[in-house]
């Protein structure tokens, strides 16, 4: 009993720390007003018709990167409900398939979650012009991504930035991959 209670203060401290950091991260989220963001013309009288980022984004789940919104949590939690297609005849396919990439590199393996991407995008957004739908057919390059190609078409523009390395390089090399894992490069 005494050994069980010995770890209790540490557990309480850890719990308080996690709660405090979540509150700090929520409080630290700041967005520039549109008139001061360097993109919008502050003299444009129509600017007042646009919703300020702080007004809309602060209501969504917090993230530590990019625009400070965890978009997948917002989607899965029902905080947002984006349109699934533009053309009425488009058939939406959510694919629950992970592909493991960077099998020979030194950094952690990349687990590419199709589900998280196909909740937002139709397959044709990426295939066949950004990526060929064939294992080993794509030569992925961080340089190309950083130049706005491949994954960099979205990441760094509308999705979390490429500076969040562990978001993609997320699978340790010293652990076996799940049974039936689909391996890319």
- pTM exceeds 0.95, yes or no: no
* Per-residue model confidence (pLDDT) at position 14: 41
* Per-residue model confidence (pLDDT) at position 29: 86
* Per-residue model confidence (pLDDT) at position 22: 45
Question: Residue 96, CB half-sphere, CA atoms under 13 Å: how many?
Answer: 0
* Per-residue model confidence (pLDDT) at position 126: 92
* Per-residue model confidence (pLDDT) at position 185: 62
* Per-residue model confidence (pLDDT) at position 155: 92
Q: Is beta strand 182-183 parallel, antiparallel or unpaired with respect to 98-101?
A: parallel
DSSP3 helix / strand / coil % (the chain, rounded to 5): 35, 10, 55
* Per-residue model confidence (pLDDT) at position 135: 83
Cβ atoms within 10 Å, residue 104: 7
* Per-residue model confidence (pLDDT) at position 157: 80
* Per-residue model confidence (pLDDT) at position 66: 87
CATH among 3.40.720.10, 3.40.1190.20, 3.90.10.10, 3.50.50.60 for 84-185: 3.90.10.10
* Per-residue model confidence (pLDDT) at position 117: 93
Question: Residue 120, CB half-sphere, CA atoms under 13 Å: how many?
Answer: 16
pLDDT digits (tens, 9 = 90+) for 110-147: 999 999 999 888 888 899 999 999 888 999 999 999 99
* Per-residue model confidence (pLDDT) at position 28: 67
Regions of the chain short of the pLDDT cut 50: 2-5, 7-25
Domain coordinates in residue numbering, the chain: 84-185
């Amino acid at each position: 009993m005494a050994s069980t209670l010995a770890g209790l203060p540490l557990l309480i401290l850890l719990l308080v720390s996690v709660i405090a950091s979540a509150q700090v991260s929520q409080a630290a989220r700041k967005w520039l007003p549109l008139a001061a963001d360097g993109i919008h013309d502050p003299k444009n009288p129509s600017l007042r018709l646009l919703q300020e980022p702080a007004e809309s984004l602060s209501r969504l789940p917090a993230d530590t990167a990019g625009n400070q919104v965890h978009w997948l949590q917002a989607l899965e939690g029902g905080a947002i409900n984006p349109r699934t297609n533009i053309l009425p005849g488009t058939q939406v396919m959510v694919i629950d398939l992970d592909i493991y990439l960077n099998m020979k590199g030194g950094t952690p393996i990349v687990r590419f979650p199709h589900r998280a991407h196909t909740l937002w995008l139709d397959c044709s957004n990426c295939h066949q012009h950004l990526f060929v739908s064939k294992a080993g057919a794509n030569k992925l390059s961080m340089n190309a991504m950083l130049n706005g190609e491949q994954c960099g078409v979205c990441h760094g523009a509308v999705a979390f930035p490429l500076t969040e390395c562990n978001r993609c390089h997320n699978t340790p090399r010293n652990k076996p991959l799940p049974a039936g894992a689909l391996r890319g490069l």
